[in-house]
Structure 1
Amino acid sequence: MARFRANDRGDGAKRRHRYGQAIRAQRERRGMSVADAADVFGYSTSAWSRYENGSPIPVGLPARLDEMFGTQGMFAVLWEVVKDETHPDRYQDYMREEARALEIFEYAPYRIPGLLQTSAYANAVYAAAAPEATAEEIDWKVALRLGRQDRLKGDDPPFMSVVLDEAVIRRTVGGPKVMRDQLASLLPLVDTSRSVLQIAPFTRGERGALSGPLILLTLPDLGRMAYLEGISNGQILDDPAAVRAHQRAYDRVRAEALTPGETADLIMAAIKECE
């Protein structure tokens, strides 16, 4: 097993990968499959595979690893080395899971979700977030974002349930024409066999809002994960109890949102305001 040192050279991803290798070594030493370990510890097989491949693990897992594998505190000690690492690759971890998700549930309080953005809207968002970026850099980021949308147009798209805070459709991004076209692109998605779009109106007050962006994914093995997006990073949650808590929060805000029909009416009103 690879050694860990507090001053180990290399980035956090490398150290997390070595931590995952240590988990895999202990699992295989006991003749357990990935599915066996996932079942024993109460995670999905996809989540367990991510842990063994270097993704951040739940805070309470190291102690449970030591208890199950009889490693006398080894995983808890090694966790102290990697737990405070920044995770610049978390977004990539999420992208991989999104690309294969069966269901996507998203609450967006600030802007149109990336999977639903038009090219012009995405360009305006990136330009505002990175004013020092060149046009070529922004074009590249927009192309990557639009590439994520290809799966929605394929033969077997995921089911999407999206709740937008009313502020999202009221805040003009990129100017009136950009915003008008963006809002118009949402209307065909409001109520279909593969998508439901709802607005959480201002009139619902605190009952119709969450503290920040939230995405919930159902994966092919029916495992669930939550993704909490911050200003400069994101956090993946695989712990079943944490995912259930966020699912309940999403269900509450969706229950307080407008119906699809009311949502379409409000979006059309916002389009007229852009004119």
Structure 2
Amino acid sequence: MAGPKDLDPSSSPRALLGAELRHAREKAGLSQEELGQRLFVSGSFVGQLEAGTRRMQPEYARLLDEVLGTEDFFRRNCGASAKSKYREHFAEAAEAEARCTAIRQYASMLIPGLLQTPAYARSVCRAYQPTAPDDVIEELVKGRMERTRILADPTTPMLWTVVDEAALRRVTGSRAVMGEALRHIADLARRSRVLVQVLPFDAGAHPAMQGSIKLMDFDDAPALVYLEGVDTGRLEDDPASVARYRLYYELLTSSALPREKSLVLIEAMAQDYAHEEQS
């Protein structure tokens, strides 16, 4: 396995913890695979901890202190790296998303978070929490919009999404909200900032009918896949699992409309929403 690149310890608590873990592991004369065996995890999992793409959980911090002889260093410091403004089941995925170089995502029932507008995000958050105070909803929307800042870079990460036609036709918020949301996606695609394909209804059955898939690639760590359900989600780093979901994604792209036809459809639907709203 290629060694991780140097990290800037001042960039974040997690980067500092990852740099210290790498230093302690190398000082102990252990490879990532050897340390992983002692923690009952994969070597790639250790690599992700060192690269800062995965959060260090207290149980692993305790084992690391025991195996590497670091007294209670990792136990004392893992709490700082675990703080997040995102919900617990999504926090690790959101933080990995901000560090990756490529994202390939299939969305089944809603527009992916990175492509959402504030109005669309507000409608989704309100649907999730219909009795929440407005300030709670606005805080959730703020967090979601902060994630979209990664698209301010003109090239990284590469974002390739396959959006199910159902997500585009489900009126979320209002027709005006949907029209704005689809125009936003079309604008990103026209500027070549994202790659978008639509999986039409007539594509029939496919391997991701029961959920969504997000594959994330990194320069300095193994790939991850994030699988999300209703108020739940999990990251997987097992190479066989990642490979299986990558195959699923490739099958989805082969069944989806080509990018130009997808863009034409999205723009036509946006126009239809605008006309319906005026009527």
Q: Do these two structures clear the TM 0.5 threshold for a shared fold by scoring above it? A: yes
Distance 1:52 1:142 in 2: 23
Q: Please say if residues 200 and 209 of structure 1, whose CA atoms lie closer than 8 Å, have aligned partners that are also in contact.
A: no
Q: Percent identity?
A: 31
Q: Please say if residues 33 and 44 of structure 2, whose CA atoms lie closer than 8 Å, have aligned partners that are also in contact.
A: no
Which residue number in structure 2 is paired with residue 151 of structure 1?
150
Q: Please say if residues 32 and 46 of structure 2, whose CA atoms lie closer than 8 Å, have aligned partners that are also in contact.
A: yes
Distance 2:140 2:47 in 1: 28
Map 1:259-270 to 2 at 5 A. 259-270=258-269
1:258 lines up with 2:261 in the alignment: no
1:43 lines up with 2:44 in the alignment: yes
Which residue number in structure 1 is paired with residue 29 of structure 2?
31
Which residue number in structure 2 is paired with residue 78 of structure 1?
none
Map 1:227-242 to 2 at 5 A. 227-242=226-241
Distance 1:188 1:51 in 2: 32
Which residue number in structure 2 is paired with residue 65 of structure 1?
none
Distance change in 2, residues 1:45/1:188 (3 Å): farther
1:211: how far off? 2.2
SS in 1 for 2:44: coil
Amino acid corresponding to residue 228 of structure 1 in structure 2: L
Q: Please say if residues 224 and 238 of structure 1, whose CA atoms lie closer than 8 Å, have aligned partners that are also in contact.
A: yes
Q: Please say if residues 166 and 200 of structure 1, whose CA atoms lie closer than 8 Å, have aligned partners that are also in contact.
A: yes
Q: Please say if residues 228 and 235 of structure 1, whose CA atoms lie closer than 8 Å, have aligned partners that are also in contact.
A: yes
Distance change in 2, residues 1:52/1:137 (3 Å): closer
1:43: how far off? 1.8
Distance change in 2, residues 1:47/1:53 (3 Å): same
Which residue number in structure 2 is paired with residue 166 of structure 1?
165
Q: Please say if residues 44 and 224 of structure 1, whose CA atoms lie closer than 8 Å, have aligned partners that are also in contact.
A: no
Map 1:40-79 to 2 at 5 A. 41-43=42-44, 45-49=46-50, 53-54=56-57
Q: Please say if residues 101 and 158 of structure 1, whose CA atoms lie closer than 8 Å, have aligned partners that are also in contact.
A: yes
SS in 2 for 1:43: helix
Distance 1:244 1:133 in 2: 39
Distance 1:161 1:106 in 2: 6
Amino acid corresponding to residue 216 of structure 1 in structure 2: L
Give 5+ residue unaligned stretches, structure 2: 1-20, 61-66, 68-86
SS in 2 for 1:190: helix
Q: Please say if residues 215 and 225 of structure 2, whose CA atoms lie closer than 8 Å, have aligned partners that are also in contact.
A: yes
Which residue number in structure 2 is paired with residue 93 of structure 1?
92
1:210 lines up with 2:209 in the alignment: yes
1:154: how far off? 2.7
1:219: how far off? 1.5
1:54: how far off? 1.5
1:101: how far off? 0.6
SS in 2 for 1:258: coil
Distance 1:193 1:147 in 2: 21
- State the TM-score, normalizing by the size of structure 2: 0.71
Amino acid corresponding to residue 177 of structure 2 in structure 1: V
Which residue number in structure 1 is paired with residue 199 of structure 2?
200
Q: Please say if residues 100 and 219 of structure 1, whose CA atoms lie closer than 8 Å, have aligned partners that are also in contact.
A: yes
RMSD: 3.2
Distance change in 2, residues 1:130/1:90 (3 Å): closer
Distance 2:58 2:192 in 1: 34
SS in 2 for 1:111: coil
Which residue number in structure 1 is paired with residue 15 of structure 2?
none
1:225: how far off? 0.3
SS in 1 for 2:253: helix
Query: Where do 4+ consecutive residues of structure 1 move more than 3 Å?
Result: 26-30, 33-42, 48-52, 191-194, 207-210
Task: Provide Cα deviations, 1:201-246, integer angstroms capped at 9, x if missing partner.
Answer: 0011004853211100001315100000110110100000000000
SS in 1 for 2:132: coil
1:261: how far off? 1.1
1:110 lines up with 2:109 in the alignment: yes
Q: Please say if residues 34 and 43 of structure 2, whose CA atoms lie closer than 8 Å, have aligned partners that are also in contact.
A: no
1:123: how far off? 0.5
Q: Please say if residues 45 and 223 of structure 1, whose CA atoms lie closer than 8 Å, have aligned partners that are also in contact.
A: no
Q: Please say if residues 202 and 208 of structure 1, whose CA atoms lie closer than 8 Å, have aligned partners that are also in contact.
A: no
1:31: how far off? 2.6
Q: Please say if residues 158 and 194 of structure 1, whose CA atoms lie closer than 8 Å, have aligned partners that are also in contact.
A: no
